[in-house]
Structure 1
């Protein structure tokens, strides 16, 4: 399938930091508890939430002080404390706990919080190795009997090299209930001639390559702001693995066994970087990305 036109983001380090600062001003809870330099390196890929229900949500982060070089966390498990509050100053804690970030999962954590109230905002954050993450905001789904209009935004086909992510900057300023991402969160290949920025390497060849590609995308300040502002529902398309692949076949990798190994690595990296529950974690070459969520009534 031909590449699709992407949304937009920022290029230089200076402009990238300016974008992050602008997002923080528009949404002060994004950096409310993380003082300058506090956990900026450890939580370089930001925070996210997803798959909201009327009484719960999934919270996500990944510890990655060297995000484009494998993460930089080594093999040691790391305890990650988390809090979720009813207010942005964290004076009314609704839930808290501890997760263990494992090297096998690229030191990502997926916290499934339950026992929440339907249709309301919550704020959350993480602490690891004495450092605090930025603070995110999430929103539970409305109760089944709530028939108020639902506001959703969607994203897809965000080829990093082809454009900036100004669409996500605008999205983060809106009042919406959730974001639905329809796939092609990353692009495995480079295409076109007039790139506004570049991937660091060619086609991913293993799990490390896919992890680094996701990390490159998630360093974008505007994408981080959209993740930290609303819960997301996510699925994948072909470019999360290889262009035009179907089931266990890919025109890019004719050897079926080689392709299945690449597909398993791609699915694992996708799960590590998405705010989805444990039941969606791939098992070898098998993966489950489907589910059923209800957002209010009809």
Structure 2
């Protein structure tokens, strides 16, 4: 039986030394070493590599983390992440910036579009979730992705990204509630990307997602409010392997204060 992991210090990491030590501690685990030895990895970060639910230059708690403190923390986290993860030279960080979105091509079989939904996103103001001027990808990444999907010739097209893409309503009945950290909080951009995938006829589109510590298989619908509408793509949401995963009774994660979700969401539309 593995003992609970005890982290250095009594708080989250903030300095490059603290982030390096956290990565080194994880890399010391035999199971993770075996996984790296057995398989090639294509990695991209989400929020917890720096701070929970951060958005571009905005931390989760700006009242407790002034902007200059958070940006120094972001630069430290990026440096340690690059040093400890299998990334190309093109991803060497420059202060608070790190190039992470990229395309991995496997002949005419598969294109994997590795996305970054953290560095360029608008603030997570749920009152503005329908505002077409807000973004989760940023203009440059969105245009890059649209062009690749339109011009691709591979049999399969994967979008490897961080947060829930399909619509996920947490409230039964006519009322609705959504996560402020997922694509549901950036509806026009999400729906525009979905419609573009359909319009250009991208072959076998699959969205690969993490974040919610539970497994889902979702139909990405042409109209999320109409379950009978056409299915544009499939979303596969992978569970966590270390924290609140698909163990019996563990549940997934919804908005703060919401009841636990089932560990398995067999289909969502």
* TM-score, length-scaled by structure 1: 0.34
Compare the two structures and name the one with the higher helix fraction.
2
Compare the two structures and name the one with the higher strand fraction.
1
* TM-score, length-scaled by structure 2: 0.38
